[in-house]
Amino acid sequence: MAFEEMWRDLSPVGRSATSGGYFRQPWTSAESELRAWFAEECAARGLTVETDGIGNQVAWWGESDLPGVLTGSHLDSVLDGGAYDGPLGVASALAAVDTLRARGVEPERPIGIGVFVEEEGSRFGRACLGSRLVTGATTWDQAKELRDRDGVFLADAIADAGLDPSAGLLSLDRVGTFVELHVEQGRDLVDRDVAVGLASEIWPHGRWRFDFAGQANHAGTTRMEDRHDPMLTYAMTALAANKQARLAEQRATFGRVAVEPNGTNAVPSLVTAWLDARASSDDALASLVASIERQAEDRAGRDGTGLTVTAESVSGSVAFDADLATRLASLGGWPVIPTQAGHDAGILSDAGIPTAMVFVRNPTGVSHSPDEHAETADCLAGVEALADVLVELAGA
Ligand code: GLV
Ligand code: MN
Ligand code: MN
């Protein structure tokens, strides 16, 4: 099926009728539908899909025992996310195999198309959970303690989706190289006026949970000076994080907050807020987070509230194989650019697998939003670029 047809088929899955954004959380019906879609697309190409015990998938084209070239991405989304982040890499991988076949290419090395689960960490809070488990960066013993917002344990969510973690995880033994195509999540390619680029590095980034504890009290009868209001401590921390990141030319975001008891006429007893912080080096990230924490502690002291900070998902800087990026970029004269977004490619690179990323221009740069977009012509240019990259890596 041509790229445009695959894209049309994917379009309604998990889409909100109100916002037009996507809710494709892992181990939900939308994601199961996407997993089935992927298996059908592979079957239509005569490829057999292997699905592991947690829902990671791979299908290999070619029988050779030489180390293979894996390409692909993820199908899950952030809450109310865009259509392209993840699925573009999967549909492009399938379309690139079609392109190679249409060109009459018979690759010397096997080419695999893979899908990793829970890349966004939107349900269990750990980014790239599927690829982390597969590479051993996270162990099952660590992961099985995770719960989603409704208190559902990871193992139960997986079982509810009809999968069995004890069935084992995908093996990466066959993978000699990994290439992930992804929509760009910034405006670098727009500014350079090119449709396609290669990745040089991923900024270190992570998620920290801030628990601000206060004293529940009456919103009317409690004098302002008698309050221990954790909302205030949180609000000042959010402002401090923004200022600190701007001053240091880094990134800090509080995008998720939970308030207890969340009543209009009561001072809250607890505010839990999640900091997403990213920086250009591991040291810069550590010092950014330390400085936000320090300012939060300071403010908590003045508000008479308590603060606990827990690191939930931290990824160090990733430098993709520079020779590989240069070699692949020369195929199309593509620029090699950094990204501040996390990817399964970073996890596989950390695991010692030579890894590259192909970016496709995003005209607005907007991502993790229903407004995320890529023009069809650019997506097709991405498929051609990926096909060229696969020929270079797999040999023909
Ligand atoms: C994943 O897209 C991330 O960068 O958070
Ligand atoms: Mn992604
Ligand atoms: Mn994403």
The DSSP annotation for 97-152 comes to HHHHHHTT---SS-EEEEEES-SS-TTTS-TTHHHHHHHTSS-HHHHTT-B-TT--
118 lines ligand 1 (CB under 6 A): no
Pocket mutation for ligand 1, best pick of 120, 315, 357 (most atoms within 8 Å of C-beta): 120
Digit-coded pLDDT (tens) for 37-78: 999 999 999 999 999 999 999 999 999 999 999 999 999 999
Distance from residue 221's CA to the centre of ligand 2 (Å): 48
Instruction: Identify the residue whose C-alpha is closest to ligand 1 atom 1.
Output: 342
- Comparing CA positions, the residue from 129, 44, 103 lying closest to residue 313 is 129
Q: What is the mean pLDDT of the chain?
A: 98
Atom of ligand 1 nearest to the CA of 119: 1
Q: Which residues does 145 contact at the CB level (< 8 Å), separation at least 6?
A: 153, 154
Residue 261: pLDDT over 90: yes
Mean pLDDT of 94-117: 98
The confidence score (pLDDT) of residue 185 equals: 98
Give the count of alpha carbons within 13 A of 392, CB side only.
Answer: 19
Mean pLDDT of 92-103: 98
Nearest ligand, CA of residue 78? 3
Distance from residue 163's CA to the centre of ligand 3 (Å): 24
In whole angstroms, how far apart are CA 347 and each of 56, 128, 135, 336? 14, 8, 8, 19
Q: Which residues does 378 contact at the CB level (< 8 Å), separation at least 6?
A: 195, 196, 360, 361
- Comparing CA positions, the residue from 245, 250, 228, 232 lying closest to residue 292 is 245
The confidence score (pLDDT) of residue 41 equals: 98
pLDDT band for 202, please (50, 70, 90 cuts): very high
Residue 17 near residue 11, CB atoms below 8 Å? no
388 lines ligand 1 (CB under 6 A): no
H helices within the chain, ranges in order? Answer: 3-10, 29-44, 87-102, 129-135, 140-143, 154-160, 188-192, 230-248, 282-303, 322-329, 344-350, 376-394
Tell me the pTM.
0.97
pLDDT band for 396, please (50, 70, 90 cuts): confident
342 lines ligand 1 (CB under 6 A): yes
Atom of ligand 1 nearest to the CA of 367: 2
Residue 1: pLDDT over 80: no
Digit-coded pLDDT (tens) for 291-315: 999 999 999 999 999 999 999 999 9
120 lines ligand 1 (CB under 6 A): yes
Judging by DSSP bridges, how do beta strands 270-278 and 205-213 pair with one another? antiparallel
Atom of ligand 1 nearest to the CA of 120: 1
The confidence score (pLDDT) of residue 203 equals: 98
Backbone angles phi, psi at 253, to 5 degrees: -140, 130
Distance from residue 117's CA to the centre of ligand 1 (Å): 13
The confidence score (pLDDT) of residue 376 equals: 98
The confidence score (pLDDT) of residue 192 equals: 98
341 lines ligand 1 (CB under 6 A): yes
Digit-coded pLDDT (tens) for 161-198: 999 999 999 999 999 999 999 999 999 999 999 999 99
Residue 344: pLDDT over 80: yes
Mean pLDDT of 221-247: 98
Atom of ligand 1 nearest to the CA of 205: 4
345 lines ligand 1 (CB under 6 A): no
Residue 340 near residue 188, CB atoms below 8 Å? no
Distance from residue 326's CA to the centre of ligand 2 (Å): 23
Residue 387: pLDDT over 80: yes
| CA distance linking residue 151 with residue 166, whole number of Å | 22
| CA distance linking residue 268 with residue 104, whole number of Å | 65
